[in-house]
Structure 1
């Protein structure tokens, strides 16, 4: 019997779930690359609207463009999760063990992202208030944040909700599927030495 024929449906679904998680993580850098300039322009316009010089952001090394680690990190995560899904197809027991470790980490990391996003405005305002730059201390972080967010398309909240649902739902699904009896048997069979017909 071929390896494909022996692979249980649970593993196939787990592989697809990994790919969906990877795609969900890619939405972050893609949005940043596509709308980064518009977001930065909106932030600078808000600075001017608050009666401050547009250079106040650059002078304090503040940018609303996604760049550097903000772009690379989610791409690396997405590639890693996609590769982990491919590894699961092989039936290697190590792939199942690593997945059962990684998926809870993915869930916790997404929780951390949600918490960070929820506290972004207050953290930004605190940074402004503690700055040595008098102009920066005058900035309204909430208005600046709202202006930058407004540069994104109207469907951003739907995309964000969908992304979070996919990450949480698929990560939990992978865990459940890998704990299923058929998956345990599939990975256990990979430990057995291959036999040749007499």
Structure 2
């Protein structure tokens, strides 16, 4: 059963690594689409850079998923090695991954409201003029259609893989 847990943890790691890969590949196109939408709204596109708003895989958009993947890979290795610590760490980290993914899904579902609030907090008068829904739709529309399916698949792998890993280490 430790092998099953390890395989699930490796799948979760791959799912998290897909986030920066997709953002790296298509982020510049999304940024260009978002900037075009800002121009349409008579908002200066440079406001994104000035406020450190990104669509690529820079900063925490890479660091966080890579860190999660590294922890899942390390825990998978402990499961494959059959260490006593593997069960406890699987419970801790797989549970945390589920909770983190809930936050990610929630933030995706409430993106318009969250971005509007973030723009207000920035205090930049130009950002406060941005019509956020079309701005985000423009950026999202720049990603290929398959990215939406990949997002659903990634969430399924993270939730189901974590659950299977938890069950697997519990029946040992």
Higher gyration radius (CA): 1
Aligned to 2:145: 154
Q: CA deviation at 1:73?
A: 1.4
Post-superposition Cα deviations, 1:143-166, rounded to whole Å, max 9, x if no partner, equal 110000011110111101110110
Post-superposition Cα deviations, 1:161-184, rounded to whole Å, max 9, x if no partner, equal 11011011011101111111xx2x
Aligned to 1:173: 164
Distance 1:101 1:132, change over 3 A: closer
Post-superposition Cα deviations, 1:34-76, rounded to whole Å, max 9, x if no partner, equal 1111111111111001122222222333222231111111112
SS at match of 1:149: helix
Matches within 5 A, 1:41-80: 41-80=32-71
Higher relative contact order (CA 8 A, sep 6+): 2
SS at match of 1:66: coil
Gaps of 5+ in 1: 1-9, 184-198
Matched, 1:102 2:93: yes
Q: CA deviation at 1:129?
A: 4.2
RMSD: 1.5
Q: CA deviation at 1:99?
A: 0.9
SS at match of 2:88: helix
Tell me if the contact between 2:87 and 2:170 (Cα under 8 Å) persists in the aligned partners. no
Count of residue correspondences: 172
Aligned to 1:188: none
Aligned to 1:36: 27
Gaps of 5+ in 2: none
Tell me if the contact between 1:33 and 1:66 (Cα under 8 Å) persists in the aligned partners. yes
SS at match of 1:67: coil
Distance 1:79 1:130, change over 3 A: closer
SS at match of 1:152: coil
CA distance, structure 2, for counterparts of residue 171 and residue 36 of structure 1 = 28
Distance 1:130 1:80, change over 3 A: closer
Q: CA deviation at 1:87?
A: 0.9
